[in-house]
Chains A and B, each alone.
Chain A
Amino acid sequence: MSVAEVIDNARSQGRTILTEVESKQVLHDAGIPVAIAVLTHDAKAAAKAAEEMGFPAVLKVVSPDVAHKSDVGGVRLGLESKGDVERAFDEIVAAVKAAQPAARIEGVAVQKMAPAGTEVIIGMSKDPQFGPVMMFGLGGVFVEVLKDVAFRIVPLEPKDAGEMVREIKGFAVLEGVRGQKPADLAALESLIIQVSKFIEAHPEVEELDLNPVLAYPDGVLAVDARIVVS
């Protein structure tokens, strides 16, 4: 499905928020490095999908009614075998039903678990004066508590991405601290530019969150994504 088709499909269901699977699909099609997720509807299909993508696997509930998936037992990490995946599928469905009986469960998303990396966040929201504004920060407390973020107006030029990454107070973390290798800044900057281009090409996108993006010494990968359309 093209971006327009995915958006039309969501709208036809009365949604403006794309699911994680949909969001990742459109970003992947735009050439943005995301950990692609497959929507499955039963335990066997989940196990098969996990086998195709490779272990360890991650399972997450797909539901328009669940805002915080891990709070309701809707996320399982580090699943090493088909058996693990099948069990986890049933446990997730049961846990979500128990915690939030009214929630509609569309299925369970399966993706390959990404290796650990430095967590960063890339987001976009619309400013009443300037239009789409991108945000960049380090994951976790850096953004949530310390508000250590940098903003830029879309469209960004390559120099803007470079300055944005270096502007945050926590930049030293990306340069490598405590013996860690430095993050691949070129890949991070190119991801920021790709997202800026995606937003420019799709004015119907109202909000976008890649949270987290994992920054590795070689490359970057968005492991969760959320898109809101108008």
Chain B
Amino acid sequence: MTQLSEAPADLQKRLDRAFNPRTVAVVGDKRAMGYLWLNCMKTFEGKVYSVQVDPNEIPGIEAMRIPNYKNLVEVPDDIDYVVCAVPRPIAPRIIGDCIEKKVGGVALFTSGFAETETEDGIAVQEQITQMARDAGLLLIGPNCMGIYNRRLGVRHSTDQPAGDSGNVGFISQSGTHCINFSLVGALRGVKCSKTVSFGNAVILDAPDYIEYLANDAETEVIAMYVEGTKDGHRFFDVLRGTARRKPVVVWKGGVTAAGSRAVYSHTASLATAPAIWDAAMRQAGVVQAESLDETIDAVNALTYCKPGTGPRMGLIAMTGGQSVVITDAFERAGLQVPLLTAASYEKLSSFFNIIGGSYRNPLDAGGTIGMGFAPGNLQKLLDILEEDENVDAIAMEVGASFIARRLRENPAMLDQMVQTLASHKERSGKPFLAIAHPGHVEDVMADIRARLIARGIAAFGSFQAGAQALRRAIDYWRSRQDLN
């Protein structure tokens, strides 16, 4: 719902200013919040200004060596981005100041508007909406956390990484999910380019932000958490157009009846029937996810696996038991585990250790590849699966929790395996993913996954997670291919 009366290209330019600010003003930060916003901006490369009138708050701000002004209009600089954290009754005045100051954009952290379903809340929301609309002010929110730009260090959580660039954009009505995506994602290899939490979306709504990220060169994959949208048809059109250019992952909240009731009191959005939502997303060619974990996993499969459209898996597991359940997991995700070619079997028979192992596909290969630590044979297996024309994609169980003590004592053991997998990925044209289960040694297995991700290898915590993420990525690339 673009209320700004301007061409999309102009909106893009104005969003670009707010998303890539050179100056930021924080209005109304407080000691009681631990000066959250000013602390978030400590990583910001540009200039930060504070606006605060309360004499009890000013010394704390000045102690942070941040210049404070009593009025936004007095700040002796153009302001590209404002975070406003004042109480609701003050919000209209600050919006007025933003208009007068001609700021690039303002994120209104202040809440207590239409989402409260109270007369007062609705009235003040209407007031600030009208003000922003009349003046063409780029208002984000209210009831939101605003922008995170990793490269420039504009943050909305003090735990967010900063200073280097990322390639995944995220938009969310909910501030919590926006922050969690960036934080949990960072732990698992997702590097955010730009994210925005936009709350009640009174001026700019999801489609505006999606279009912005679709045109943003830094952003290669777009993910989002949505609970509903005011103009579903535009949302659908923008998703369909964007998914033809970049992978889009949509995590919908409030799918169940009780969930949709919670949506209304959260962001005052209307609910649609689940079957119709599902059809719309399929038709738009986006990937659907049902949780933060699924969203992160799908993003990783889209980011780190080579784009592939074939469903036939070559599977490598370390033990007999795992080779059975890895097969179930991939078949259940709608992928296939075919027999290999005669040529592959001939090669495998020449060296595969069949004592406690087997190689029909899945390959029960723990003995053959020394649980992954006999790089020569691991390399051979990967080459055979790479060349096998019955195999479209490869998944491998990495390590095993029962040898974790050896891994902990001698982490160098892992280096060679990671190197073997990384060089395989470089040569290979097929999607490849690794799975390292937490087992009873979560830290060791998490370390393995982190090392793999650091080398650009998609790594997951369970067979199901890996299988479903790969299935989602394959569906996405196939739907792109069907358009040609």
A residues near B (Cβ < 8 Å) are: 127-131, 133, 149-153, 156, 159-160, 163
A151 touches B275 (CB 8 A): yes
A129: contacting residue among B270, B283, B483, CB under 8 A:
B270
Given A127-B272, A127-B273, A127-B276, CB of A159 within 8 Å of CB of B232: no
Contacts of B276 in A (CB 8 A): 127, 130, 133, 151
CA distance A7 to B200 in the complex (A): 40
Contacts of B405 in A (CB 8 A): none
B483: contacting residue among A127, A149, A159, CB under 8 A:
A159
What are 21 pairs between A and B in contact, CB < 8 Å?
A127-B232, A127-B272, A127-B273, A128-B232, A128-B270, A129-B229, A129-B233, A129-B235, A130-B232, A130-B272, A131-B232, A131-B233, A133-B279, A150-B279, A151-B275, A151-B279, A151-B280, A152-B283, A153-B233, A153-B236, A156-B283
Taking CB as reference atom, which chain B residue is nearest A159?
A: B482
Contacts of B228 in A (CB 8 A): 129
A interface footprint on B271-309 (CB within 8 Å = 1, 0 otherwise): 011011001101100000000000000000000000000
CA distance A130 to B240 in the complex (A): 13
The size of the chain B interface, using a CB distance under 8 A, is 17
Taking CB as reference atom, which chain B residue is nearest A154?
A: B233
CA distance A147 to B57 in the complex (A): 61
Interface set, chain B 223-241, CB cutoff 8 A to A: 228-229, 232-233, 235-236
CA distance A130 to B280 in the complex (A): 8
CA distance A88 to B229 in the complex (A): 54
A129 touches B482 (CB 8 A): no
CA distance A114 to B275 in the complex (A): 33
CA distance A72 to B482 in the complex (A): 49
Question: 9 more A-B contacts (CB under 8 A) besides A129-B235, A159-B482?
Answer: A129-B228, A130-B272, A131-B233, A133-B279, A153-B233, A153-B280, A153-B283, A156-B283, A163-B283
Contacts of A133 in B (CB 8 A): 276, 279
Most buried by B among A127, A149, A156: A127
Contacts of B280 in A (CB 8 A): 130, 151, 153
Contacts of B232 in A (CB 8 A): 127-131
CA distance A131 to B235 in the complex (A): 12
Contacts of B283 in A (CB 8 A): 152-153, 156, 160, 163
Given A151-B275, A160-B283, CB of A130 within 8 Å of CB of B233: yes
CA distance A160 to B282 in the complex (A): 9
Q: How far is the CB of B36 from chain A (nearest CB, A)?
A: 34
Taking CB as reference atom, which chain A residue is nearest B282?
A: A163
A interface footprint on B183-207 (CB within 8 Å = 1, 0 otherwise): 0000000000000000000000000
Interface set, chain B 329-352, CB cutoff 8 A to A: none
Interface set, chain B 253-280, CB cutoff 8 A to A: 270, 272-273, 275-276, 279-280
Contacts of B279 in A (CB 8 A): 133, 150-153
Q: How far is the CB of B350 from chain A (nearest CB, A)?
A: 44
Q: How far is the CB of A44 from chain B (nearest CB, A)?
A: 49
Given A153-B233, A153-B236, A160-B283, CB of A129 within 8 Å of CB of B275: no
Contacts of A152 in B (CB 8 A): 279, 283
Contacts of A149 in B (CB 8 A): 275
CA distance A133 to B276 in the complex (A): 8
Q: How far is the CB of B206 from chain A (nearest CB, A)?
A: 12
A130 touches B236 (CB 8 A): yes
